[in-house]
Chains A and B, each alone.
Chain A
Amino acid sequence: MTALPRTASAGAAELAAMLARAADGDQAAFREFYDRTSAKLFGIILRILVERGEAEDVLQEVYVTVWRKAAEFDPARASPVTWASTIARNRAIDRFRARGSRPTAPIEAASDVADAAPTADVLIDTGRDAARVHAALTALEPRHAAAIRSCYFEGLTYEALAERENIPVGTLKSWVRRGLMRMKAGLTPAGGVA
């Protein structure tokens, strides 16, 4: 495990170099970036949208966006994977909002899935952080952690989640915000949040 962070940041540097070359029009470098990251991004999109064809459309849009915005990537502000994953999540949530709703599993199911330990092949550049963030999430009151997971992983609105869980939306927001502040407080000493 001790070797992981070093390997991981080397991976991030390689991905950042691929993006820099993509920004200069190097399609082979961009293809390599796609090969290294697309399964992760597709997983994120699929989790929010569920429907496969729609998720494939969004994945395509996301990578065309990554290609076009490659020059805007700033390694000082985010890791390449975080940057691309954020574009993917945002695009998937936008699509989800535009569509309306989908059948959703209750909050317990979300926590079941999210508690699965991260597997080695998806630990691209966040290995050590992932363990810390998961620990911080697990340390929260279970209802708070479950609400955070449902918003983050399923892309649910506070309103939809509150309705599903049959609690006032104000209560849900307060759970989520208290939970996130507590996570931040636990992670910040090591520089987790700028």
Chain B
Amino acid sequence: MFSRNWRVLSRAYSQAVTFRTSEISPQHQNDKQIGLFYTLKQDTCKELFSNGGLPKSFMKQTKTFTETTLMIRQPALDLINCIKSTDFNKPVIRYVLYGEKGCGKSLTMAHMIHYAYEDGYLIVHVPWVSEWLRRVPRHKEMSNSQTREGLVDLPLDAAAWLIHFKSQNQTLLKSSDLKISKEYVWSKREKTESGAPLSELVEHGIARIKYACDVIDALISEIKILSNNKQCKTFVAIDGFNSFFYPLTRLNTPTKKKVKPDEVTLTKSFLELTKNDWNNGIILLSADQLAVPDENQDSYFPRYLLRKQGFEYLDPFVPIEVGRYSDKEFLSCASYYRDRLWLRGPPEIETELKFTSACNPFKFMEQCAPL
């Protein structure tokens, strides 16, 4: 009888803890831990994702669950293995994440950023491109670009991004081994000299919003040079890359003319960055249906979302599909929600939810909400 109690207890214990793993460093995670959740440390979280990076609904969940956890899934592990076996002397490889709405592309990207952070990469992360091009509350601060004719600037967004960049790369920038190679003249009285640390460039951009877009341009060219010189390895992550290639944005010039993404300086900068003419880096992009308006959301494949122009630009790239939950992942997620008091009720609910949510992670989360 004692042994039976012991068995029951141990089973309960193992059931209680099967959805978690204590391996919090992405570098050491392996296939055995697929479907398990690992917790991110609070300060890492703040550094990496305080200005974006995690989807809004996920941020709400972190507040409710009082912790930030990510699930270890197959696409992320595949990416980590690919990265571990890349040859950094060759030009950069571009990976494109694709999948249905709500399957976990942004969270996979977050997982990779955490890995890059642990591994000491210089992170260039654009949380959500459509934020710049399509989220127009009432009036977006735009100005005509000074350095490039006929193009439009988005100074506030650029400055916000520079803050994000700074917070993500705090440790690397503080070690200040990275120095600029050229001199940049902003105006009569302001210029940044060659040999100054990268952080100075960034500070300048944050302080002087007027020149923020140009600072980003400069920063990107500097990063390329630094990577080529093997002074740092770069990890570029851009979420919603396909909105750069959609014919229209929601921006309007003061003359009420629609602006194309090609006419925005930020587009040019990041397209410059994602060209594979430099090495010692990884580029991770995602093609998302949510980045384009509803009429053009017929399919989730990159060929459709990136359109002809984008596909030719990005060719060759490695596509990685992020799919729905497998059975094991689903069960693990359900037990995690139960543990966090998000899902309550009899066990039959799980079969029903599996059916109605079709194992889509986002839908599953939504449908657990009122239960």
A and B part of one assembly: no
